[in-house]
Amino acid sequence: MEKKKEYGFEPPKEIDDPDDFKPADWIDTPKIQDPDAFKPEDWDEDAPKQIPDMDAEKPEDWLDDEPDFVADPDAEAPDDWDEEEDGEWEAPQVANPKCTAVSGCGEWTRPIIDNPDYRGKWVHPMIDHPDYIGVWKPAQISNPAYFSEETHPEAFKTLVAPIGGVAVEIWTMQGSIHFDNIYIGNDIDAAAQWAMESFGKEQAEEEASAKAAARKAAKEARDKKWEEGGVLAKASVLVSSGLEIAGDNLIATVLTMLVVFGSLCYWMCCSGEGDEYPEDDYQEEDMEVTEEEEEEEEEVAPEAEAAETEKETAAILKEESSRPASVPKSKTGADKEKDSEAAAAAAPAETAAKKKAKKKKKKKGKSQTTD
Protein backbone atom coordinates (compact mmCIF):
# COMPACT_ATOMS: atom_id res chain seq x y z
CA MET A 1 0.00 0.00 0.00
CA GLU A 2 1.40 3.36 -0.99
CA LYS A 3 2.02 5.66 1.95
CA LYS A 4 -0.04 8.80 1.96
CA LYS A 5 1.93 11.96 1.37
CA GLU A 6 1.93 14.32 4.33
CA TYR A 7 2.07 18.02 3.56
CA GLY A 8 2.21 19.20 7.17
CA PHE A 9 -0.63 21.71 6.91
CA GLU A 10 -3.68 19.47 6.73
CA PRO A 11 -6.14 20.03 9.62
CA PRO A 12 -7.11 17.03 11.80
CA LYS A 13 -10.08 14.90 10.80
CA GLU A 14 -11.57 15.04 14.30
CA ILE A 15 -11.63 17.75 16.93
CA ASP A 16 -12.78 18.02 20.57
CA ASP A 17 -16.53 18.32 21.02
CA PRO A 18 -17.07 21.87 22.28
CA ASP A 19 -20.32 20.76 23.99
CA ASP A 20 -18.70 17.95 26.00
CA PHE A 21 -17.59 18.70 29.62
CA LYS A 22 -15.86 16.64 32.33
CA PRO A 23 -18.35 15.24 34.91
CA ALA A 24 -18.15 16.71 38.37
CA ASP A 25 -17.50 13.31 40.00
CA TRP A 26 -14.73 12.37 37.58
CA ILE A 27 -11.55 11.52 39.50
CA ASP A 28 -8.36 11.84 37.45
CA THR A 29 -5.87 11.98 40.39
CA PRO A 30 -3.88 8.73 40.40
CA LYS A 31 -2.27 9.16 43.89
CA ILE A 32 -3.48 10.46 47.25
CA GLN A 33 -1.93 10.81 50.72
CA ASP A 34 -2.21 7.76 52.95
CA PRO A 35 -4.93 8.67 55.44
CA ASP A 36 -3.55 6.18 57.97
CA ALA A 37 0.02 7.56 58.03
CA PHE A 38 1.20 10.08 60.67
CA LYS A 39 4.54 11.69 61.52
CA PRO A 40 6.24 9.95 64.48
CA GLU A 41 6.47 11.95 67.69
CA ASP A 42 10.26 11.62 67.89
CA TRP A 43 10.74 12.94 64.36
CA ASP A 44 12.87 16.12 64.66
CA GLU A 45 12.69 18.06 61.40
CA ASP A 46 14.94 20.81 62.82
CA ALA A 47 17.86 18.52 63.65
CA PRO A 48 21.05 19.54 61.77
CA LYS A 49 22.53 17.24 59.17
CA GLN A 50 26.06 17.51 60.70
CA ILE A 51 27.27 18.15 64.24
CA PRO A 52 30.67 18.54 66.05
CA ASP A 53 32.28 15.30 67.24
CA MET A 54 31.94 15.48 71.01
CA ASP A 55 34.19 12.45 71.53
CA ALA A 56 37.20 14.10 69.85
CA GLU A 57 40.06 15.46 72.02
CA LYS A 58 42.77 17.99 71.21
CA PRO A 59 46.17 16.34 70.52
CA GLU A 60 48.89 16.94 73.11
CA ASP A 61 51.37 18.35 70.52
CA TRP A 62 48.92 20.89 69.16
CA LEU A 63 50.51 24.37 68.98
CA ASP A 64 47.82 26.92 69.83
CA ASP A 65 50.11 29.96 69.55
CA GLU A 66 51.56 29.11 66.15
CA PRO A 67 49.78 30.37 63.02
CA ASP A 68 49.17 28.07 60.06
CA PHE A 69 51.00 30.47 57.69
CA VAL A 70 54.02 32.73 58.25
CA ALA A 71 55.98 35.23 56.14
CA ASP A 72 58.56 33.66 53.85
CA PRO A 73 61.94 34.35 55.50
CA ASP A 74 63.82 33.94 52.20
CA ALA A 75 61.71 36.46 50.27
CA GLU A 76 63.16 39.89 49.46
CA ALA A 77 61.56 43.05 48.21
CA PRO A 78 62.05 43.66 44.43
CA ASP A 79 64.69 46.18 43.40
CA ASP A 80 62.13 48.40 41.68
CA TRP A 81 59.73 48.46 44.68
CA ASP A 82 58.86 52.03 45.66
CA GLU A 83 57.16 52.26 49.05
CA GLU A 84 55.84 55.76 48.29
CA GLU A 85 54.00 54.51 45.19
CA ASP A 86 53.57 50.77 45.89
CA GLY A 87 53.10 50.90 49.67
CA GLU A 88 54.83 48.90 52.33
CA TRP A 89 56.22 45.64 50.98
CA GLU A 90 54.95 42.44 52.61
CA ALA A 91 56.60 39.05 52.20
CA PRO A 92 54.44 36.25 50.75
CA GLN A 93 52.88 33.73 53.13
CA VAL A 94 54.10 30.14 53.32
CA ALA A 95 53.06 27.17 55.41
CA ASN A 96 54.46 27.28 58.93
CA PRO A 97 57.26 24.67 59.03
CA LYS A 98 56.62 24.12 62.74
CA CYS A 99 53.12 22.83 61.98
CA THR A 100 54.32 20.06 59.70
CA ALA A 101 56.02 18.16 62.52
CA VAL A 102 52.97 18.24 64.86
CA SER A 103 49.25 17.55 64.60
CA GLY A 104 48.36 21.16 63.86
CA CYS A 105 48.59 24.85 64.79
CA GLY A 106 46.25 27.66 65.73
CA GLU A 107 42.90 27.46 67.47
CA TRP A 108 41.74 23.86 67.81
CA THR A 109 38.11 23.06 66.86
CA ARG A 110 36.19 19.84 67.03
CA PRO A 111 35.82 17.97 63.74
CA ILE A 112 32.35 17.83 62.09
CA ILE A 113 30.57 14.50 61.66
CA ASP A 114 27.17 13.42 60.26
CA ASN A 115 24.30 13.69 62.79
CA PRO A 116 23.08 10.15 63.54
CA ASP A 117 19.68 11.55 64.59
CA TYR A 118 19.12 13.53 61.39
CA ARG A 119 16.00 12.38 59.50
CA GLY A 120 15.13 15.42 57.39
CA LYS A 121 11.74 16.76 56.44
CA TRP A 122 8.89 14.30 57.04
CA VAL A 123 6.93 13.58 53.82
CA HIS A 124 3.44 12.15 53.89
CA PRO A 125 3.43 8.81 52.07
CA MET A 126 1.25 8.49 48.94
CA ILE A 127 -1.04 5.60 47.93
CA ASP A 128 -3.08 4.79 44.82
CA HIS A 129 -6.45 6.50 44.65
CA PRO A 130 -9.09 3.80 45.01
CA ASP A 131 -11.61 5.73 42.89
CA TYR A 132 -9.19 6.78 40.12
CA ILE A 133 -10.86 6.61 36.69
CA GLY A 134 -8.19 8.02 34.43
CA VAL A 135 -7.41 11.18 32.46
CA TRP A 136 -10.58 12.72 31.10
CA LYS A 137 -10.73 13.65 27.41
CA PRO A 138 -13.60 15.32 25.58
CA ALA A 139 -15.44 13.39 22.93
CA GLN A 140 -14.19 13.66 19.34
CA ILE A 141 -16.36 14.87 16.47
CA SER A 142 -15.69 15.32 12.76
CA ASN A 143 -13.86 18.51 11.85
CA PRO A 144 -16.05 20.60 9.59
CA ALA A 145 -12.97 22.51 8.31
CA TYR A 146 -11.08 19.37 7.37
CA PHE A 147 -9.62 19.20 3.85
CA SER A 148 -7.13 16.91 2.19
CA GLU A 149 -5.95 15.84 -1.20
CA GLU A 150 -8.94 13.50 -1.45
CA THR A 151 -11.51 16.12 -0.47
CA HIS A 152 -9.98 19.09 -2.32
CA PRO A 153 -7.86 17.78 -5.22
CA GLU A 154 -8.08 21.06 -7.11
CA ALA A 155 -6.28 22.90 -4.30
CA PHE A 156 -3.51 20.32 -4.09
CA LYS A 157 -2.69 20.63 -7.77
CA THR A 158 -0.74 23.77 -6.83
CA LEU A 159 0.50 22.11 -3.62
CA VAL A 160 -1.11 24.75 -1.44
CA ALA A 161 -4.33 26.64 -1.24
CA PRO A 162 -4.34 30.37 -2.07
CA ILE A 163 -2.41 32.36 0.54
CA GLY A 164 -3.62 35.75 1.68
CA GLY A 165 -0.68 36.71 3.89
CA VAL A 166 2.65 35.63 5.35
CA ALA A 167 3.90 36.33 8.88
CA VAL A 168 7.63 36.51 9.63
CA GLU A 169 8.79 36.78 13.24
CA ILE A 170 12.42 37.74 13.92
CA TRP A 171 14.05 38.56 17.23
CA THR A 172 16.80 41.11 16.65
CA MET A 173 18.57 44.01 18.35
CA GLN A 174 18.87 45.93 15.07
CA GLY A 175 16.15 48.04 13.54
CA SER A 176 15.24 49.01 9.98
CA ILE A 177 14.56 45.44 8.81
CA HIS A 178 12.03 45.14 6.00
CA PHE A 179 10.65 42.23 4.00
CA ASP A 180 9.25 42.19 0.52
CA ASN A 181 8.91 39.83 -2.43
CA ILE A 182 8.22 36.70 -0.38
CA TYR A 183 8.50 33.56 -2.50
CA ILE A 184 6.75 30.32 -1.57
CA GLY A 185 7.59 27.18 -3.50
CA ASN A 186 9.65 24.00 -3.57
CA ASP A 187 11.92 24.68 -6.59
CA ILE A 188 15.27 26.09 -5.46
CA ASP A 189 16.43 26.98 -8.97
CA ALA A 190 13.23 28.85 -9.73
CA ALA A 191 13.50 30.67 -6.40
CA ALA A 192 17.10 31.71 -7.15
CA GLN A 193 16.19 32.96 -10.62
CA TRP A 194 13.21 34.87 -9.26
CA ALA A 195 15.41 36.40 -6.54
CA MET A 196 17.88 37.66 -9.14
CA GLU A 197 15.09 39.16 -11.23
CA SER A 198 13.54 40.92 -8.24
CA PHE A 199 15.91 41.42 -5.33
CA GLY A 200 19.04 41.38 -7.51
CA LYS A 201 17.70 44.16 -9.74
CA GLU A 202 16.57 46.15 -6.72
CA GLN A 203 19.96 45.71 -5.04
CA ALA A 204 21.78 46.84 -8.18
CA GLU A 205 19.59 49.95 -8.34
CA GLU A 206 20.26 50.70 -4.67
CA GLU A 207 24.01 50.32 -5.17
CA ALA A 208 23.90 52.58 -8.23
CA SER A 209 21.89 55.17 -6.30
CA ALA A 210 24.32 55.05 -3.37
CA LYS A 211 27.27 55.39 -5.75
CA ALA A 212 25.65 58.36 -7.49
CA ALA A 213 25.01 60.02 -4.13
CA ALA A 214 28.62 59.48 -3.09
CA ARG A 215 29.85 60.94 -6.38
CA LYS A 216 27.61 63.95 -5.97
CA ALA A 217 28.87 64.57 -2.45
CA ALA A 218 32.49 64.22 -3.61
CA LYS A 219 31.88 66.62 -6.53
CA GLU A 220 30.32 69.19 -4.22
CA ALA A 221 33.31 68.88 -1.88
CA ARG A 222 35.72 69.35 -4.81
CA ASP A 223 33.78 72.38 -6.10
CA LYS A 224 33.88 73.94 -2.66
CA LYS A 225 37.59 73.30 -2.38
CA TRP A 226 38.19 74.76 -5.85
CA GLU A 227 36.27 77.91 -4.96
CA GLU A 228 38.34 78.37 -1.81
CA GLY A 229 41.39 78.74 -4.07
CA GLY A 230 45.01 77.93 -3.51
CA VAL A 231 47.47 76.05 -5.66
CA LEU A 232 47.58 73.00 -3.40
CA ALA A 233 43.79 72.88 -3.08
CA LYS A 234 43.29 73.00 -6.84
CA ALA A 235 46.02 70.42 -7.38
CA SER A 236 44.35 68.06 -4.92
CA VAL A 237 41.02 68.59 -6.71
CA LEU A 238 42.58 67.67 -10.04
CA VAL A 239 44.28 64.60 -8.56
CA SER A 240 41.09 63.36 -6.89
CA SER A 241 39.13 63.88 -10.11
CA GLY A 242 41.73 61.92 -12.07
CA LEU A 243 41.69 59.10 -9.55
CA GLU A 244 37.90 58.92 -9.70
CA ILE A 245 37.97 58.71 -13.51
CA ALA A 246 40.68 56.05 -13.34
CA GLY A 247 38.69 54.06 -10.79
CA ASP A 248 35.59 54.17 -12.97
CA ASN A 249 37.60 52.97 -15.98
CA LEU A 250 40.04 50.66 -14.28
CA ILE A 251 40.65 48.29 -17.20
CA ALA A 252 41.20 51.12 -19.70
CA THR A 253 43.54 52.87 -17.24
CA VAL A 254 45.64 49.76 -16.72
CA LEU A 255 45.87 49.07 -20.46
CA THR A 256 46.85 52.68 -21.17
CA MET A 257 49.57 52.59 -18.54
CA LEU A 258 50.93 49.34 -19.97
CA VAL A 259 51.01 50.77 -23.51
CA VAL A 260 52.75 53.96 -22.36
CA PHE A 261 55.27 52.03 -20.28
CA GLY A 262 55.98 49.58 -23.11
CA SER A 263 56.42 52.40 -25.64
CA LEU A 264 58.79 54.23 -23.32
CA CYS A 265 60.86 51.08 -22.77
CA TYR A 266 60.99 50.41 -26.52
CA TRP A 267 62.03 54.00 -27.27
CA MET A 268 64.79 53.90 -24.63
CA CYS A 269 66.14 50.49 -25.62
CA CYS A 270 65.51 50.06 -29.36
CA SER A 271 65.10 53.52 -30.91
CA GLY A 272 68.80 53.71 -32.13
CA GLU A 273 68.91 50.55 -34.24
CA GLY A 274 68.72 52.39 -37.63
CA ASP A 275 71.50 54.93 -36.76
CA GLU A 276 74.36 52.47 -36.43
CA TYR A 277 77.53 53.42 -38.32
CA PRO A 278 80.12 51.05 -39.79
CA GLU A 279 83.31 50.59 -37.86
CA ASP A 280 85.37 52.05 -40.75
CA ASP A 281 83.48 55.35 -40.50
CA TYR A 282 84.35 55.63 -36.82
CA GLN A 283 88.00 54.90 -37.60
CA GLU A 284 88.04 57.48 -40.38
CA GLU A 285 86.47 60.06 -38.08
CA ASP A 286 89.06 59.31 -35.38
CA MET A 287 91.85 59.61 -37.96
CA GLU A 288 90.46 62.92 -39.21
CA VAL A 289 90.25 64.27 -35.66
CA THR A 290 93.83 63.16 -34.99
CA GLU A 291 95.06 64.74 -38.24
CA GLU A 292 93.25 67.98 -37.40
CA GLU A 293 94.92 68.09 -34.00
CA GLU A 294 98.33 67.46 -35.58
CA GLU A 295 97.66 70.14 -38.18
CA GLU A 296 96.74 72.62 -35.47
CA GLU A 297 99.96 71.82 -33.61
CA GLU A 298 101.99 72.11 -36.82
CA GLU A 299 100.29 75.41 -37.67
CA VAL A 300 101.07 76.93 -34.30
CA ALA A 301 104.82 76.00 -34.31
CA PRO A 302 105.74 77.37 -37.80
CA GLU A 303 103.77 80.55 -37.27
CA ALA A 304 105.70 81.25 -34.10
CA GLU A 305 109.03 80.54 -35.84
CA ALA A 306 108.03 82.69 -38.85
CA ALA A 307 107.17 85.57 -36.54
CA GLU A 308 110.59 85.40 -34.88
CA THR A 309 112.31 85.17 -38.28
CA GLU A 310 110.46 88.25 -39.57
CA LYS A 311 111.54 90.19 -36.50
CA GLU A 312 115.17 89.27 -37.06
CA THR A 313 114.95 90.15 -40.78
CA ALA A 314 113.38 93.51 -39.98
CA ALA A 315 116.16 94.26 -37.52
CA ILE A 316 118.87 93.40 -40.11
CA LEU A 317 117.23 95.55 -42.78
CA LYS A 318 116.92 98.44 -40.37
CA GLU A 319 120.59 98.15 -39.48
CA GLU A 320 121.67 98.10 -43.12
CA SER A 321 119.49 101.08 -44.02
CA SER A 322 121.18 103.13 -41.29
CA ARG A 323 124.65 102.57 -42.80
CA PRO A 324 126.09 105.15 -45.40
CA ALA A 325 125.64 104.33 -49.04
CA SER A 326 128.65 102.65 -50.68
CA VAL A 327 129.61 100.80 -53.73
CA PRO A 328 127.82 97.53 -53.91
CA LYS A 329 130.07 94.78 -53.01
CA SER A 330 129.75 91.12 -53.43
CA LYS A 331 128.16 89.32 -50.58
CA THR A 332 130.52 87.93 -48.02
CA GLY A 333 130.30 84.52 -46.45
CA ALA A 334 128.49 85.97 -43.39
CA ASP A 335 125.84 87.66 -45.57
CA LYS A 336 125.28 84.49 -47.49
CA GLU A 337 124.88 82.58 -44.24
CA LYS A 338 122.26 85.05 -42.99
CA ASP A 339 120.29 84.83 -46.22
CA SER A 340 120.26 81.04 -46.06
CA GLU A 341 119.05 81.13 -42.46
CA ALA A 342 116.17 83.47 -43.37
CA ALA A 343 115.20 81.25 -46.31
CA ALA A 344 115.35 78.19 -44.10
CA ALA A 345 113.11 79.90 -41.49
CA ALA A 346 110.56 80.95 -44.10
CA ALA A 347 110.49 77.53 -45.78
CA PRO A 348 108.69 75.65 -42.90
CA ALA A 349 105.96 78.29 -42.73
CA GLU A 350 105.37 78.05 -46.47
CA THR A 351 105.39 74.23 -46.31
CA ALA A 352 102.90 74.22 -43.39
CA ALA A 353 100.53 76.56 -45.25
CA LYS A 354 100.61 74.39 -48.34
CA LYS A 355 100.00 71.25 -46.28
CA LYS A 356 97.07 72.87 -44.48
CA ALA A 357 95.46 73.95 -47.77
CA LYS A 358 95.92 70.48 -49.18
CA LYS A 359 94.28 68.79 -46.15
CA LYS A 360 91.35 71.22 -46.16
CA LYS A 361 90.77 70.43 -49.80
CA LYS A 362 90.97 66.71 -49.03
CA LYS A 363 88.50 67.07 -46.09
CA LYS A 364 86.07 69.04 -48.27
CA GLY A 365 86.20 66.30 -50.89
CA LYS A 366 85.43 63.61 -48.29
CA SER A 367 82.42 65.55 -46.91
CA GLN A 368 81.01 65.92 -50.44
CA THR A 369 81.52 62.18 -51.02
CA THR A 370 79.72 61.36 -47.75
CA ASP A 371 76.77 63.59 -48.67
User: Would you state the pLDDT for residue 83?
Assistant: 87
Q: HSE on the CB side for 153, CA within 13 Å?
A: 1
Distance CA 290, CA 282 (A): 12
Q: Looking at the predicted structure, is the pLDDT value of residue 258 above 80? A: yes
Distance CA 220, CA 239 (A): 15
Distance CA 360, CA 318 (A): 38
> Which whole number is the average pLDDT over 258-269?
85
The domain spans of the chain are 1-21+142-162, 189-268, 294-314+340-356
Contact 136, 28 (CB under 8 A): yes
Distance CA 123, CA 33 (A): 10
Q: For the whole model, what pTM was predicted?
A: 0.28
User: Would you state the pLDDT for residue 331?
Assistant: 47
Distance CA 208, CA 214 (A): 10
Q: Looking at the predicted structure, is the pLDDT value of residue 140 above 90? A: yes
> Which whole number is the average pLDDT over 66-91?
89
User: Would you state the pLDDT for residue 352?
Assistant: 59
Distance CA 134, CA 27 (A): 7
Count the Cβ atoms, other than its own, within 10 Å of residue 287.
10
Query: At 102, which helix (H) or strand (E)?
Result: none
Distance CA 100, CA 102 (A): 6
Closest CA to 95 of 60, 119, 67, 124: 67
Closest CA to 126 of 19, 18, 268, 31: 31
- Asked which of 45-59, 137-151, 245-259 is least confident by mean pLDDT, the reply is 245-259
- Asked which of 4-13, 99-108, 353-362 is least confident by mean pLDDT, the reply is 353-362
Distance CA 116, CA 54 (A): 13
Sequence-distant (6+) residues with CB within 8 A of 7 are 149, 156, 159, 160
> Which whole number is the average pLDDT over 249-270?
84
> Which whole number is the average pLDDT over 331-339?
52
Count of residues making up the chain: 371
User: Would you state the pLDDT for residue 149?
Assistant: 74
DSSP state of 144: T
Distance CA 306, CA 312 (A): 10
User: Would you state the pLDDT for residue 154?
Assistant: 72
Q: Looking at the predicted structure, is the pLDDT value of residue 329 above 50? A: no
Angle at 8 between CA 6 and CA 12, to 5 degrees: 90
Please state, rounded to an integer, the average pLDDT across all residues of the chain. Answer: 76
Distance CA 49, CA 118 (A): 6
> Which whole number is the average pLDDT over 333-337?
52
- Please, which pLDDT band fits residue 132 given cuts at 50, 70 and 90? very high
Contact 295, 355 (CB under 8 A): yes
- Please, which pLDDT band fits residue 330 given cuts at 50, 70 and 90? very low
Considering the chain, what percentage of its residues have pLDDT values greater than 70? 69
DSSP 187-220: -HHHHHHHHIIIIIHHHHHHHHHHHHHHHHHHHH
> Which whole number is the average pLDDT over 342-349?
55
- Asked which of 5-9, 128-132, 168-172, 359-363 is least confident by mean pLDDT, the reply is 359-363
User: Would you state the pLDDT for residue 134?
Assistant: 92
Sequence-distant (6+) residues with CB within 8 A of 118 are 47, 48, 49, 50
Closest CA to 302 of 350, 261, 264, 254: 350
Backbone φ and ψ for 73, nearest 5 degrees, come out as -70, -20
Distance CA 118, CA 51 (A): 10
Distance CA 52, CA 82 (A): 48
Count the Cβ atoms, other than its own, within 10 Å of residue 274.
6
Sequence-distant (6+) residues with CB within 8 A of 9 are 160
Considering the chain, what percentage of its residues have pLDDT values greater than 90? 16
Q: Looking at the predicted structure, is the pLDDT value of residue 125 above 80? A: yes
3-state secondary structure at position 64: coil
Instruction: Quick: pLDDT tens for 198-242.
Output: 877 877 888 888 888 888 888 888 788 777 777 777 777 778 777
The b/e string for 236-248 (b: 16+ C-beta within 10 A; e otherwise) is: ebeeeeeeeeeee
- Please, which pLDDT band fits residue 351 given cuts at 50, 70 and 90? low
